[in-house]
Amino acid sequence: MTDFKFADMSGRRVLLTGAGPNIGRQIAVTLAKAGAEVALNDINPDSLKGTVAAVEAAGGKAYGVVADVSDPKAVQAMLDEISTKFGPVDGLVNNAAITIRQGVLDSTYEDWMRVLNITLTSVFLVGQAFMRQMISNDVKKGSIVNIASTSAHRGRHNAAAYCSAKAGVLNLTRCMAVEFAPYGVRVNSVTPTRSGNPVGESTGSREPVGIPLGRLGEPQDQANAVLFALSHDAAFITGIDIPVDGGTLCTASGLSGAKKPG
């Protein structure tokens, strides 16, 4: 009887966008520890170098590409470079995102489009290029995980573009799941709550308000869910969202975390 290893990614190559610090970096390291080779993307060269170094320090193999994933030409060039110099990938994690803290009345057109392009359009562009490459290479099995947010499920003050973009990620995931299933490619999303540092920030101190389990998420919490969804252990799961939110979405917006009894 062979030993069973949960979420074994041996022999898999995965592309991760938004691979800088926080959730992206932890996903990269977790996938590498599970046996995957990881192709890493970020717009910030220093952040990307840090994640490549973290993967290599964990004993993994990584290849980094600086590219703007909201630019169609840059996306195609990135996939071509990875395929040629690193090898074709059969897994994808769309994690690139930004937020601009503005409401509907305060948002400029330029800021609105910037958030949507990086947070939502990148998922379409990279997912499309990935799928076309899978078909071209006649790869029969693959998986995609798109990173959503609790902000995708309900409204927030001063986050109109981000909430809208992440809500789009949820339904784009479902569309991809339906279209890509005949090619053997599964597509799911993971919904984090506040985990590690806020989006686009290097530090942050927040209280776990509205999280019934009484703590903020950790990047490892999200990485574990991504690992499972990508792996063949989730072979019959596609088109769903996995909330990794400590119970946030089962509460009414704005309620404080559960109190300990007694």
pLDDT tens sequence across 147-163: 999 999 999 999 999 99
Closest-CA residue to 244 (of 153, 144, 126): 153
Coil vs helix vs strand at 177: helix
In tens, the pLDDT along 177-218 reads 999 999 999 999 999 998 866 655 555 557 888 899 999 999
Closest-CA residue to 29 (of 54, 61, 7): 54
Catalytic (active site) residue 162: yes
pLDDT score at 258: 47
Tell me the C-alpha to C-alpha distance, in Å, between residue 38 and each of 31, 57, 82, 126. Answer: 7, 13, 10, 15
- Strand arrangement of the beta sheet that strand 37-42 belongs to: 62-66, 37-42, 13-16, 91-94, 142-147, 185-192, 241-244
Q: How many residues does the chain have?
A: 262
What is the token pair recorded at 162? 């981000």
- Residues of the chain with pLDDT below 50 are 1-2, 255-258
Tell me the C-alpha to C-alpha distance, in Å, between residue 133 and each of 38, 68, 87, 117. Answer: 17, 19, 11, 22
What DSSP element (H or E) covers 147? strand 142-147
C-alpha 31/C-alpha 60 separation (Å) is 9
Check: CB of residue 227 under 8 Å from CB of residue 216.
Answer: no
pTM above 0.85, yes or no: yes
Parse the chain into domains and list their residue ranges: 13-250
For 232, phi and psi rounded to 5 degrees?
-70, -10
Catalytic residue among 63, 109, 162, 183: 162
pLDDT score at 195: 81
13-250 fold = Rossmann fold (3.40.50)
